[in-house]
């Protein structure tokens, strides 16, 4: 992209210092934060945007710095440096800079495609989910509308990881300052980080450590400086800026079902067919009046539940999946994302529910959302004499999500028993865990 400066950095700096938008911006509050995960699309993003914050952190704050790409596409026309050579240089520069700013930080260099991070967004999300401590970490990531495709993709990946792990996410602008100027900033979401002189000095040294970006690679065309003084001035202020952001809902199910008629092979896989048989066998009562299946996919289990239930209400958030469920007077479908759309489900329930089934759905929720869903399920069946909640989950890692089957069932056990249900039966195999709780 062509770099077009917003204006003269010295003049702008003086003007911005008096701008009430800066002066009145609320300071960021990271009180009590024990773990920071800092996400950068390229080596130097974290230094430019958050170097002062990193330099000022107490050593008891655990810090993970995740650099998604090696930045080896920074000089595509260089006559002196190959992409592999640039990758080695920029990885070393990132290590030097982070070492200057926060020597106790753990640096993760993922080596994803520079210039192609959009295509590797799921891989970045999965890496962040593995690092985040659900509900206890804070994610700092590039602004999702920064203007650089890699930055925007890194921001979306972090937002998705935050949604899956109940994690607070804050975003930082980089190229927005240079390409669009401060008027493009969503000021109501802005938070200021005031930097002490010592932190500013360490940040300055860390910026200089990215020598392949702040100085020419050589005097030949194609080796020009990437971060000239006019760009660096935006990051030499006595403050840094974060933006309060919402986690990004990121469900894979509609695209998955739109592309594949049976993405889980539920009608053909022996594992799936045997698992449904085990699910039916685990039900402690012969008959149920109304059963609700949460996360029904294409409806194979919902159809089987009809052999034990007078009516089954099958719920899924994917319209493409529900279009493949063979509906009937006894098998009704509801499009809803639970637990958020619980009132929508209730609108479709005409009688008392005595069975709730959660099969292969719990680990596609954050821990907080799963807890809320479990509380709703307990309420749903609590008034029925044969009220039952049955869960069935695979026991291996679900890449990109924080919970596995055993975690899901432990959380359900905690919520349902607290709500007054008792564990009726529990089956653990190498690949699957099934549990039934009854009133």
| 312-347 per-position pLDDT tens digit | 999 999 999 999 998 889 999 999 999 999 999 999
Task: Answer whether residue 379 shows pLDDT above 70.
Answer: yes
Q: How far apart are CA 74 and CA 114, in angstroms?
A: 8
Q: What is the pTM of this model?
A: 0.91
Q: How many CA within 13 A on the CB side of residue 422? A: 4
CB atoms within 10 A of CB 347: 11
pLDDT of residue 5: 35
Task: Answer whether residue 389 shows pLDDT above 80.
Answer: yes
Q: Which two tokens stand for residue 188?
A: 């109501």
Q: How far apart are CA 391 and CA 167, in angstroms?
A: 26
Task: Answer whether residue 402 shows pLDDT above 90.
Answer: yes
Which tens digit of pLDDT belongs to each residue from 207-265? 999 999 999 999 999 999 999 998 999 999 889 999 999 998 767 788 888 888 888 88
For the chain, which domains are there?
9-245 (3.40.50.10320), 253-438 (3.40.50.150)
Task: Look at 19 and 80; give whichever has higher pLDDT.
Answer: 80
Which tens digit of pLDDT belongs to each residue from 117-154? 999 999 999 999 999 998 899 999 999 999 999 999 99
Place of tokens 């690092």: 131
DSSP state letter for 372 = H
Please check whether residue 89 is in contact with residue 42, taking contact to mean a CB–CB distance below 8 angstroms.
no
Q: How far apart are CA 145 and CA 435, in angstroms?
A: 44
CA dihedral 199, 205, 209, 214 (to 10 degrees): 110
Which tens digit of pLDDT belongs to each residue from 42-81? 999 999 999 999 999 999 999 999 999 999 999 999 999 9
């Amino acid at each position: 992209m062509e770099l077009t400066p917003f204006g003269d950095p010295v003049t702008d700096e003086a003007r911005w210092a008096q701008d009430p938008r800066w002066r009145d911006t609320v300071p960021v509050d990271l009180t009590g934060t024990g773990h920071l995960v800092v996400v950068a699309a390229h080596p130097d993003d974290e230094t430019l945007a958050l170097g002062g914050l990193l330099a000022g952190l107490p050593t008891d704050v655990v810090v993970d710095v995740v650099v998604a790409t090696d930045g080896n596409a920074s000089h595509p026309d260089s006559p002196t440096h190959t992409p592999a050579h640039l990758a080695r240089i920029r990885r070393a520069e990132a290590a030097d800079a982070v070492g200057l700013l926060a020597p106790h930080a753990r640096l993760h260099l993922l080596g994803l495609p520079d210039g192609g991070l959009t295509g590797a967004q799921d891989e970045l999300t999965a890496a962040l989910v593995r690092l985040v401590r659900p509900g206890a970490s804070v994610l700092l990531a590039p602004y999702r509308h920064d203007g650089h495709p890699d930055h925007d993709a890194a921001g979306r990946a972090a937002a998705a990881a935050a949604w899956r792990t109940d994690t607070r996410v804050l975003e930082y602008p980089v190229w927005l300052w240079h390409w669009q100027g401060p008027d493009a900033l969503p000021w109501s979401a802005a938070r200021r980080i005031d930097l002490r002189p010592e932190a500013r000095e360490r940040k300055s040294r860390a910026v200089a450590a990215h020598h392949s970006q702040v100085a020419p690679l050589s005097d030949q065309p194609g080796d020009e400086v990437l971060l000239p003084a006019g760009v660096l001035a935006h990051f030499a202020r006595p403050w840094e800026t974060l933006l309060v952001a919402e986690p990004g809902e990121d469900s894979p199910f509609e695209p998955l079902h739109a592309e594949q008629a049976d993405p889980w092979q539920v009608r053909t896989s022996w594992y799936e067919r045997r698992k449904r048989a085990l699910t039916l066998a685990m039900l402690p009562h012969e008959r149920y009046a109304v059963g609700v299946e949460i996360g029904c996919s294409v409806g194979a289990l919902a159809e089987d539940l009809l052999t034990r239930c007078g009516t089954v209400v099958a719920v899924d958030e994917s319209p493409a999946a529900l279009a493949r469920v063979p509906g009937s007077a006894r098998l009704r479908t509801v499009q809803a994302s639970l637990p958020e759309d619980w009132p929508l489900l209730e609108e479709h329930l005409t009688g008392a529910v005595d069975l709730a089934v959660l099969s292969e759905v719990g680990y596609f929720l954050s821990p907080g959302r799963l807890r809320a869903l479990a509380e709703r399920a307990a309420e749903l069946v609590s008034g029925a004499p044969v009220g039952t909640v049955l869960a069935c989950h695979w026991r291996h890692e679900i890449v990109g999500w924080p919970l596995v089957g055993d975690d899901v069932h432990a959380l359900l056990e905690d919520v349902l028993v607290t709500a007054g249900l008792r564990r009726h039966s529990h089956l653990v195999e190498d690949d699957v865990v099934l549990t039934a709780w009854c009133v």
